[in-house]
Structure 1
Amino acid sequence: MEILEYVAFSTDPSGGNPAGVVLDASGLDDAAMLRIAAEVGHSETAFVLPPRGAAQPGRESHLDVRYFSPLAEVPFCGHATIATAVAHAQRHGAGERTFRTKAGEVLVATETGPDGSVMATLVSVAPRSEPIPQDVTDRLLAALRWSAEDLDPALPVRAAYAGAWHPVVAAADRARLARLDYDREALAALMAHRGWTTVDLVWRESPSVFHARNPFPPGGVVEDPATGAAAAAFGGYLRTEGLVDTPATLTVHQGYDMGRPSTIRVRVPAGADTGIEVSGTAVAI
């Protein structure tokens, strides 16, 4: 078995979000995948399970993909999807493939540029967002050590989904986003109770440019430097709440405050049930 390591949403190995990638996880059970993810130590490791009896291994149009953090399996992971797509394209050629994940089928397209770099674009499952009860919002803010005055009133607190659930909490200014000092135990307990994967803290620089930070205590990580699943959920949130004119192309900057700068491109199509497109590069570590 070969375990690869890639950084997603960056062309620099010192930036982006690292992920483990196992392109052939045949024969691995859940316990083995969890153990490997813990040993690799990145926020997620993706395991590809090719269909049995494929005539041309590596050229399958559908791939079963599972994602494990060091502590638990997660239904979907955006940056590990981008990393896996790039790694697979470099081994077997670019093109379109469908990743069959626990969150549903995710179409992934890869394209090789003139310089040999690979750009990957995933199309999320249909996104949705919903209000969070006020008492839960109060607990969330308390765990984050934020106050109501820290919030941007134009971007309401909501739970957003595009394969995994993320509460969206918008800061009133960039300085508030830069100060990340949360109660890890309290936030982890609340997220486990609500089924949230990461918390999507955002600040709006302009109508199409956002900055984000993603606390990730359920994965055993203080902060995720680039979160494709949260970016997709956030794109769906903006569309559902009528906060962006569609179609729209957004840029999400993440990881800068932790020294791992990442750039995530998000395309929000018109149509309430259409998936959100998330694009990025990846490079082997």
Structure 2
Amino acid sequence: MTTHTPRSEVLRYTAFSSDPEGGNPAGVVLDATALDDKDMLAIAADLGYSESAFLTRSSEEPGDPEGRAYGIRYFSPKAEVPFCGHATVAAAVALAERTGPGKLVFTTRAGTVPVEVTEESGTLRATLTSVEPHIEKIADADLDEALAALDWPDSDLDPAFPPRIAFAGARHLVLAAATRARLADLAYDFARLEALMHRLDLTTVQLVWRESAAVFHVRDPFPVGGVVEDPATGAAAAAFGAYVRELGLAPEDAVLTLHQGEDLGRPGELTVTLRAGDPRVRVSGEGTRIG
């Protein structure tokens, strides 16, 4: 049986909201040194959150004199994922509560992710910088299968936003709904979509609706993680930022607001920042402890 130290206790935080009842909850273990893969998966499954973050200190490495570098792994209730944005924000906020705001460096299985935490009026806000992103086309047959699993006819798609697979640490299929009503009506074939996502190595399906040039509403089915829907998805937000920039759907310098979780009763807000000359995408949001 694994022995847990006080720092390896399981903390609960929400990301992309300052309200414990909003945003996306995540488990956070600040010292997972004593845990193996089975332990981490069991903790994630017991919590039932879409993801949990497990940290190990990397302060012995050169270039980290202040001890603010960490290795981090992410587990859903069913499997490990290479990168998770909301659990990164949750972990960064948990650390900032203990060591103060400032810069952190997380080494993920997708690459190195810098995070900066700031505080304003007692609220902590974390900004992560993604690994270098890219997008790719999806085969017509795979798109047809995704739409069939969602029970979305072609006419429900927004033609201004072509379907693509986008990556910024994890792979997400981006599909744009033509109306808010279409986005709100989400009742999909769990097993069918899960099978397609495993075959295409997708983490979520990023469903979006454009309210205005810089404001979007999003939802993220996550059957491969054992969760029907993710309430707020930082990794998908980063991928979406890469998607709109590469397709010329947003300026090279842009700040986008993504609203997610409203249809689940857990509203959250994600800020996506694009900078000219830097291919990486920044995603920021508030966070707070649950309970």
Instruction: Place the TM-score, normalised by the shorter chain, in its bin.
Output: over 0.9
Q: Kindly state the Cα deviation for residue 51 of structure 1 after the two structures are TM-superposed.
A: 2.5
1:103 counterpart (96, 110, 113):
110
Kept after mapping to 2: 8 A contact 1:59/1:92: no
Task: Give the aligned partner of residue 266 of structure 2.
Answer: 260
Quick check: 1:243 aligned with 2:268?
no
Quick check: 1:66 aligned with 2:37?
no
What's the CA shift string for 1:87-114, capped at 9, x where partnerless? 001111111111000000001001122x
Task: Give the aligned partner of residue 33 of structure 2.
Answer: 26
Tell me the SS of whatever aligns to 2:113: strand
Q: Could you list the runs of 4 or more consecutive aligned residues of structure 1 that deviate by over 3 angstroms after TM superposition?
A: 52-55
1:139 counterpart (137, 142, 145):
145
Task: Give the aligned partner of residue 284 of structure 1.
Answer: 289
Task: Give the aligned partner of residue 83 of structure 2.
Answer: 76
Q: Distance in 2 between matches of 1:183 and 1:263?
A: 27
Amino acid at match of 2:182: R
Q: Distance in 2 between matches of 1:151 and 1:270?
A: 29
1:155 counterpart (156, 161, 179):
161
Gaps of 5+ in 1: none
Task: Give the aligned partner of residue 125 of structure 1.
Answer: 131
Q: Kindly state the Cα deviation for residue 117 of structure 1 after the two structures are TM-superposed.
A: 1.4
What's the CA shift string for 1:94-138, capped at 9, x where partnerless? 11111000000001001122x221110000001111100101100
Aligned residue runs from structure 1 range 181-196, under 5 A: 181-196=187-202
What's the CA shift string for 1:14-50, capped at 9, x where partnerless? 1110000001111211111111111121110000011
Kept after mapping to 2: 8 A contact 1:58/1:92: no
Amino acid at match of 2:273: R
Quick check: 1:217 aligned with 2:223?
yes
Q: Distance in 1 between matches of 2:214 and 2:261?
A: 18
Using the aligned pairs only, state the percent identity.
56
Q: Kindly state the Cα deviation for residue 59 of structure 1 after the two structures are TM-superposed.
A: 4.4
Task: Give the aligned partner of residue 122 of structure 2.
Answer: 116
Task: Give the aligned partner of residue 231 of structure 1.
Answer: 237
Task: Give the aligned partner of residue 44 of structure 2.
Answer: 37
Amino acid at match of 1:176: R
User: Structure 1 residues 166 and 65 mapped into 2: Cα distance closer, same or farther (>3 Å)?
Assistant: same
Structure-2-length-normalised TM-score: 0.94
Kept after mapping to 2: 8 A contact 1:35/1:70: yes
Amino acid at match of 2:188: Y
Q: Kindly state the Cα deviation for residue 216 of structure 1 after the two structures are TM-superposed.
A: 0.5
Tell me how many residue pairs correspond in the alignment.
282
Task: Give the aligned partner of residue 15 of structure 2.
Answer: 8
Structure-1-length-normalised TM-score: 0.96
Tell me the SS of whatever aligns to 1:97: strand
What's the CA shift string for 1:161-187, capped at 9, x where partnerless? 000000000000101000001000000
Q: Kindly state the Cα deviation for residue 196 of structure 1 after the two structures are TM-superposed.
A: 0.2
Q: Kindly state the Cα deviation for residue 234 of structure 1 after the two structures are TM-superposed.
A: 0.1
Tell me the SS of whatever aligns to 2:90: helix
Q: Kindly state the Cα deviation for residue 53 of structure 1 after the two structures are TM-superposed.
A: 5.4
Gaps of 5+ in 2: 1-7
Q: Distance in 1 between matches of 2:41 and 2:193?
A: 23
User: Structure 1 residues 243 and 20 mapped into 2: Cα distance closer, same or farther (>3 Å)?
Assistant: same
User: Structure 1 residues 145 and 97 mapped into 2: Cα distance closer, same or farther (>3 Å)?
Assistant: same
Q: Distance in 1 between matches of 2:280 and 2:208?
A: 21
Amino acid at match of 1:198: T
Quick check: 1:92 aligned with 2:99?
yes
Kept after mapping to 1: 8 A contact 2:218/2:260: yes
Q: Distance in 1 between matches of 2:264 and 2:26?
A: 17
